[in-house]
């Protein structure tokens, strides 16, 4: 029988987070299956005790599947079943795109390095810098929760994007500013200050709705913007923007 990665019939790698999250991010997955796939990910790959989101589970070790070089890693380390942080952040983005702001904020906070270093015990377990996004965090055995490689990973820019663009919903594209927040339902408001050329945009987002994503109204200097997006001007001085969810 032919074997596949990410199959329930496997002894190893029954689930892989990249397939789950990218079914949402790519918008290729069937609508119902997007929600089912993310629920499976939450049940099998989110490890709240150690504050990590695993790449896959169970790790490769002695089974017949041959995924390549990652099998050479100790089970639960880096790409072999630990938190590979690129993929963990894609999970956060997928949750935000589905409108699950509570989960997106929860997971963003959970994998934030500072959260691993709030107690002496946490510091002794994590063992790496609390102010740098790590490329990986170990996910199994007595090493679970220990940080791996730091400083060089491109996942830091993904973390920035997950927070600014997908959770706060602040997006700049083709000279326009638009908004699509996915924040916790208990957030009442938040503000952003954005400089564009010689202009300053003071943005206040009123988060009174439990709607999944999108906004109801956008105001620029007291005037409603019909398109709900704002054309950026580099010499427009100081501008006040009100966004209503």
Torsion from C-alpha of 55, 166, 37, 39, nearest 10 degrees: 90
- What confidence score (pLDDT) does residue 1 get? 43
How would you write the pLDDT of the chain (245 residues) with one tens digit per residue?
Answer: 445 676 677 777 899 999 999 999 999 988 889 999 999 999 999 999 999 999 999 988 887 777 788 888 888 899 999 999 999 999 999 999 999 999 999 999 999 999 999 999 999 999 999 999 999 999 988 899 999 999 888 899 999 999 999 999 999 999 999 999 999 988 999 999 999 999 999 999 997 766 567 799 999 999 999 999 999 999 999 999 999 98
Torsion from C-alpha of 143, 147, 149, 151, nearest 10 degrees: -170
Contact (Cβ atoms closer than 8 angstroms) between residue 185 and residue 210: yes
Closest alpha carbon to 168 in 226, 96, 225:
96
- What confidence score (pLDDT) does residue 211 get? 58
155, two tokens: 């996942």
Q: Show the domains of the chain with their CATH numbers.
A: 15-165 (1.50.10.10), 171-244 (2.60.420.10)
Torsion from C-alpha of 163, 82, 34, 64, nearest 10 degrees: 160
- What confidence score (pLDDT) does residue 15 get? 92
């Amino acid at each position: 029988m032919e074997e596949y990665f990410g199959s329930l019939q496997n002894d190893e790698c029954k689930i892989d987070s990249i397939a789950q999250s990218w079914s949402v991010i790519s918008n290729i997955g069937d609508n119902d299956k997007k929600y089912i796939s993310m629920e499976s990910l939450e049940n099998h790959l989110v490890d709240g005790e150690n504050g990590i989101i695993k790449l896959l589970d169970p790790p490769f070790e002695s089974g017949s599947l041959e995924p390549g070089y990652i099998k050479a890693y100790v089970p639960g380390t880096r790409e072999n079943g630990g938190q590979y942080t690129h993929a963990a952040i894609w999970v956060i983005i997928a949750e935000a795109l589905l409108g699950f702001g509570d989960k997106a904020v929860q997971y963003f906070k959970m994998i934030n390095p500072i959260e691993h270093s709030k107690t002496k015990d946490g510091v002794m377990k994590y063992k790496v810098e609390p102010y740098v996004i790590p490329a990986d965090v170990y996910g199994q055995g007595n090493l679970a929760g220990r940080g791996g490689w730091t400083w060089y990973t491109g996942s830091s820019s993904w973390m920035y994007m997950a927070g600014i663009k997908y959770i706060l919903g602040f997006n700049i594209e083709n000279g326009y500013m638009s908004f699509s927040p996915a924040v916790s339902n208990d957030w009442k408001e938040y503000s952003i200050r954005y400089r564009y050329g010689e202009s300053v945009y003071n943005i206040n987002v009123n988060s009174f709705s439990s709607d999944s994503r999108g906004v109801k109204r956008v105001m620029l200097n007291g005037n409603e913007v019909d398109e709900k997006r704002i054309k950026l001007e580099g010499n427009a001085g100081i501008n006040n923007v009100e966004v209503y969810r």
